Amino acid sequence: MSAEAHGHDHGHDHEHEHHHKDTFITKYIFSIDHKMIAKQYLITGIIMGIIGIVMSLLFRMQLAWPEESFKIFNVLLGDKFAPDGVMANDIYLALVTIHGTIMVFFVLTAGLSGTFSNLLIPLQIGARDMASGFMNMISYWLFFLSAVVMLCSLFVEAGPASAGWTIYPPLSALPQAIPGSGTGMTLWLVSMAIFIASSLMGSLNYIVTVINLRTKGMSMTRLPLTIWTFFVTAIIGVISFPVLLSAALLLIFDRSFGTSFFLSDIYIAGEVLHYQGGSPVLFEHLFWFLGHPEVYIVILPAMGLVSEIMATNSRKPIFGYRAMIMSVLAIAFLSTIVWGHHMFISGMNPFLGSVFTFTTLLIAIPSAVKAFNWITTLWKGNLQFNPAMLFSIGMVSTFITGGLTGIILGDSTLDINVHDTYFVIAHFHLVMGISALYGMFAGIYHWFPKMYGRMLNKNLGYIHFWVTAVCAYGVFFPMHFIGLAGLPRRYYTNTNFPLFDDLQNVNVLITTFALVGGAFQLVFLYNFFSSIFYGKKAVQNPWRSTTLEWTTPVEHIHGNWPGEIPHVYRWPYDYSNPNHDVDFVPQNVPMKEGEEVLHH
Amino acid sequence: MTSLLVIIVVVLLAVALWQLTKIFDLTQVGSSSDDSQVASDNDNNVQGYIMFGFLAFIYIFTIYGLLKWGNLALHTPASEHGLLVDNLMNITWVLIFTVQVITQGLLYWFSFKNRGHKDRKALFFADSNKLEAIWSIIPSVVLACLILYGLYAWNNIMFVDKDEDVVEIELYAQQFKWTARYAGQDNVLGKANVRLIEGINTLGVDMSDPNAQDDIVVTELHIPKGKKVHFKMRSQDVLHSAYMPHFRAQMNCVPGMVTEFAFVPTYTTAEYRELDFMKEKVANINKLRAEKSVELVAKGGTALDPYTFDYLLLCNKICGASHYNMQMKVVVDTPEDYKKWLSEKTTLAQDIKAAAEAEKAKAAEATAPTTDTTAKVIDTVKAVIDTVKATVAKVAIK
């Protein structure tokens, strides 16, 4: 039985089921339809995003005006953590920690990859649904559960985890060392363990679906780049997430059962602890073996979305389709052997530092290829500046700006002096935070019609983009300078160092940009939620795109296509093909007689 | 109050923009019936120009940043290897700025130049092996050079020659303070383990080790100019990181492990204070502090002390609630001054002996010396708790 025929039967089964028992619960809550699950991921991701961003605004205010008191601190953090509106130093660290955790895992991993992998994989490869709809549903609900546990940890007595999102032991292992390492940390670990289970189920589903359920004619080299990046991302996830799970489990053992995997020779609060023989450096290795691939898990899907949106809105094929695939594969491979660049000064053998410098700087090559290919895609195009296109261009811009400083941080010699300073924060927020967020926004503006059958307001989209773009640079560009001045990250206030007094004005500027940028996300939220109900009704293929998702009806049906699944006859980037009069030729249009393939 | 004002301004701004979009929407009603929410030629044109404007914004913001904040960055390195680091840094910066200016320029220029129009047709340009080769090979070559230089520098910095004549100093980290231990006459540090922490032997030095007899424990770090200083780092509780930005030096302190870093200081504290850039920086900081003092005094507070520069050792790995205040003053002396300073210090062995004698005298003074061992234990525990409390209080006061 061919994959296509299989998908076909599968679809029909579901249609029958549907006519009989499609209740509110099976449709909106415990849905096994990938489109609904995608929307669930998106909404959950947006809610977590709001929480994460508000946290960052709070600690930015603390950094800019450390001596002021703010009523809002008291309102949001309570009397215990912000008496009289003055933020306590341990809750500052908790905010930093949970902001990082939420943004990296819950927004940019699950919210981004979860949403668009679920939405686009079946639609773009021509499948009725994911390989296992049931497992897909479980994957979402585990993610939801982990988010709930993470949010619960905010309300425990001693405060949430506050050892930084990297939770290095011993700080994360000993409640004596910081109050957040008590129940807060336990819940953090439980939440992450559930999250990893969810992520693994999702990833396995994506891999199996891409390999087995492609429609007739959809060879691997006719896959849209979105699917390539989701596919490769899922593979990296399956390889690296279990290592974090093992690190989390071993840490739970150390915390609760007295083992010494990561702890040794500790004297704290007036007593010697029994731990002996473990090493915190081991934890760092295990953590970053996931932690570094994780940034590619975040950025690769964004790259895929941007490639697709750029081609569509440039009315041009993506430049160097095969080079793009090769570079994604190269990045994925290299991403698993560079984790040590987070540990140059961790005390590991300096020889290892040399090796990791070498592999790390190699990543710049496929990254440069991608950036140049995107720029060339714009060259002599017919650019349609839909909001999604603006965000895509913005993503390339911040990816370049942020990526270039990676040459400094990836070089062990230079890392010595900028390690753990604000320079690092500026670098990674631009290259994977803002870039991935732009990729996510681009995806939302572009596929909103596919998700909700309505259009987002473009003028609000323009305002959203331009204010965000100015504020993103306004926040992170000056941050490089205070990092180069030697200002360490994760300091609750810098007032104890007259040396850094001249950086305070810059901090105020950064926070101002952050507050304005944060406030303007309300424009997006308004646009998003009002357009779900009142947006202009979408036509079937609003962006005149070539990929298969736009051949499905606007109204969602379980099984995606009412009749047979379309067959594929060409690659996904036949824009402005000189053999055709229209400037796009969908993948399901057969080759004309004598038509030659114009790309390699 | 300020925040409220900011929030009000932001909200008003948002309302204003909202109204603008409404007006924008309305103006379009008459001209065309297009409310498809897909970019029109007019949109393409407007957005294309804004793209160009944004390119100008990036360039101007960069130049503004360099002029206004460029001098905030760490200046002249105060260590020998620092020159090597800064040299590589400068080369890398030239490269980064060149690539940044060119690629951002192309990106936004193409966006502006190729803004869509209904009569325009895009060029079908799908691939070119030649171009791909160019932008794979050029970065490869450039990066190869950077990697080679970087590795050369890294090997020079990180591998300490065992035979070299160095000053051995232990940096000891704990929540939330630094302590230093000098190796003394024999220039060999005695063995140590946190299990041996007792009384004033807060670093857990093994006093039965002959090498430990002449070790000196201090809370202010002095190092001699022009001699290689070999730091050995330890931590008693959680991860810390010994960061000395002016020396381009940093290394984590890991419980259960001894880590190391070595460098040669090249300016004494006095000399570094006299460098032009530093005088300017300190003057600027003092100007800011004076302004703030006026504000504070007006509010009934006390004025800030004027600032004089000192090298610092900071903690740069999150280590607990008071991580933001874990620092130690570092002084670079001339070799003569250094020797003099060190010779005035008592050794740990002497300190321990003195403490024991003081204890004995105190015990003798006590009218009814207790023989109850449990009471003694309780006393010691209480004493320990008191010291911890006192330290915490001190840190909090700071």
Q: What tens digit of pLDDT does each residue of B35-58 get? A: 789 999 999 999 999 999 999 999
Residue A596 near chain B (CB below 8 Å)? no
Mean pLDDT of chain A: 93
| C-alpha distance from residue B290 to each of A63, B2, B296, B297, B306 (Å) | 21, 22, 10, 10, 8
For residue A5, the distance in angstroms to the closest alpha carbon of chain B comes to 33
Query: Do residues A442 and A388 make contact, with C-beta atoms less than 8 angstroms apart?
Result: yes
Residue A69 near chain B (CB below 8 Å)? no
Residue A490 near chain B (CB below 8 Å)? yes
The dihedral through the CA atoms of B136, B90, B259, A165 has a sign that is negative
| A387 closest CA partner among A311, A279, A462 | A462
How is residue A207 written in tokens? 């891999």
Mutate to test the interface with A, among B252, B261, B327 (most CBs of A within 10 A): B252
A-chain CB neighbours of B279 within 8 Å are none
Distance CA A407, CA B1 (A): 42
Q: Is residue A600 part of a domain?
A: no
Contact A575 B398 (CB under 8 A): no
Closest-CA residue in chain B for A600? B127
| A395 closest CA partner among A444, A425, A432 | A432
Provide the pLDDT for residue A490. Answer: 94
A-chain CB neighbours of B85 within 8 Å are 413-414, 416-417
Q: Is residue A583 part of a domain?
A: no
Q: Give the DSSP H or E segment for A226.
A: helix A225-257
Contact A389 B128 (CB under 8 A): no
Q: Is the peptide bond before B24 cis (omega within 30 degrees of 0)?
A: no
Domain ranges of chain B: 166-272+307-348
Q: Is residue A329 part of a domain?
A: yes
Range of the domain at A158: 3-551
Regions of chain B short of the pLDDT cut 70: 1-3, 6, 22-34, 367-384, 387-398
B166-272+307-348 folds as Immunoglobulin-like (2.60.40)
Supply φ then ψ for residue B314, to 5 degrees. Answer: -110, 155
Residue A104 near chain B (CB below 8 Å)? no
Half-sphere exposure of A188 (CA within 13 A, CB side): 31
Q: Is residue A519 part of a domain?
A: yes
Q: Is the peptide bond before A387 cis (omega within 30 degrees of 0)?
A: no
For residue B375, the distance in angstroms to the closest alpha carbon of chain A comes to 18
Provide the pLDDT for residue A14. Answer: 47
Residue B17 near chain A (CB below 8 Å)? yes
CB contact residues (below 8 A), chain A span 298-327, against chain B: 314-317, 319-323
Q: Is residue A154 part of a domain?
A: yes
CATH number for A145: 1.20.210.10
Closest-CA residue in chain B for A475? B61
Query: Strand B311-315's sheet: what is its strand order?
Result: B221-224, B327-333, B311-315, B240-244, B249-253
| C-alpha distance from residue A398 to each of A252, A432, A469, A499, B237 (Å) | 38, 9, 9, 31, 39
Provide the pLDDT for residue A26. Answer: 78
Provide the pLDDT for residue A385. Answer: 96
Query: Do residues B177 and B326 make contact, with C-beta atoms less than 8 angstroms apart?
Result: yes
Residue A44 near chain B (CB below 8 Å)? no
B-chain CB neighbours of A482 within 8 Å are 69, 72
Provide the pLDDT for residue B28. Answer: 57
Regions of chain A short of the pLDDT cut 70: 1-21
For residue A488, the distance in angstroms to the closest alpha carbon of chain B comes to 6
The dihedral through the CA atoms of A412, A415, A420, A426 has a sign that is negative
Mutate to test the interface with B, among A75, A86, A284, A375 (most CBs of B within 10 A): A375
B-chain CB neighbours of A455 within 8 Å are 36-38
Closest-CA residue in chain A for B92? A408
The contacts of residue A135 (CB under 8 Å, 6+ apart) are: A201, A204, A205
Residue A345 near chain B (CB below 8 Å)? yes
- Residue matched to tokens 């900081």: B285
Q: Is residue A175 part of a domain?
A: yes
DSSP A227-257: HHHHHHHHHHHHHHHHHHHHHHHHHHHHHHH
Supply φ then ψ for residue B250, to 5 degrees. Answer: -160, 140
Torsion of CA B20, B26, B32, B33, to 10 degrees: 120
Say how many residues make up chain B.
398
Residue A80 near chain B (CB below 8 Å)? no
Mutate to test the interface with A, among B239, B261, B314 (most CBs of A within 10 A): B239
Query: Do residues A405 and A480 make contact, with C-beta atoms less than 8 angstroms apart?
Result: yes
Count: domains in chain A = 1
Residue A349 near chain B (CB below 8 Å)? no
Contact A268 B204 (CB under 8 A): no
Strands (E) in B228-302, as ranges, are 228-235, 240-244, 249-253, 259-263
Q: Is residue A557 part of a domain?
A: no
Query: Do residues A406 and A414 make contact, with C-beta atoms less than 8 angstroms apart?
Result: no
For residue A584, the cross-strand partners are A575
Distance CA B333, CA B328 (A): 16
Distance CA A221, CA B316 (A): 48
Distance CA B106, CA B83 (A): 35
Residue A364 near chain B (CB below 8 Å)? yes
The complex scores an ipTM of 0.92
A-chain CB neighbours of B3 within 8 Å are 61, 65, 68, 70, 72
Query: Do residues B92 and A414 make contact, with C-beta atoms less than 8 angstroms apart?
Result: yes
